[in-house]
């Protein structure tokens, strides 16, 4: 959007750079949240003296895939995206 405004003469280069910075910050925050979620799951499994697989944390992902739904939203909290430009 900022690039479109800049191309139309309605925005500045600063607007474009700020938008790019915001996107990068958002992606970094998302990956950090996924990491912290996975650490919390591992700590929970450790506290329960069990493995993450035994606690069935991945059941929602498996269920979504078997129902042929878009599992991307379900698996967001389980693993980081393969490419950062995915969304």
Query: Whole-angstrom Cα distance, residue 6 to residue 70?
Result: 35
Domain boundaries, the chain: 2-80
From the list 32, 35, 44, 39, the residue with the least C-alpha distance to 79 is 35
Give the three-state DSSP class for 77. Answer: coil
The CA distance from 36 to 30, in Å, is: 10
Q: What tens-digit pLDDT sequence spans the chain (87 residues)? A: 766 766 766 778 888 888 889 999 999 999 999 889 888 888 887 788 766 666 666 666 666 667 766 655 555 555 655 665 544
């Amino acid at each position: 959007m900022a690039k479109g405004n800049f191309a139309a003469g309605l925005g500045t280069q600063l607007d474009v750079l700020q938008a790019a910075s915001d996107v990068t910050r958002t992606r970094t925050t998302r990956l950090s949240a996924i990491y912290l979620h996975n650490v919390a799951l591992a700590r929970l499994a450790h506290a329960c003296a069990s493995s993450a697989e035994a606690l069935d944390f991945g059941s929602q992902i498996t269920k979504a895939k078997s129902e042929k739904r878009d599992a991307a939203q379900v698996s967001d909290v389980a693993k980081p995206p393969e490419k950062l430009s995915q969304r």
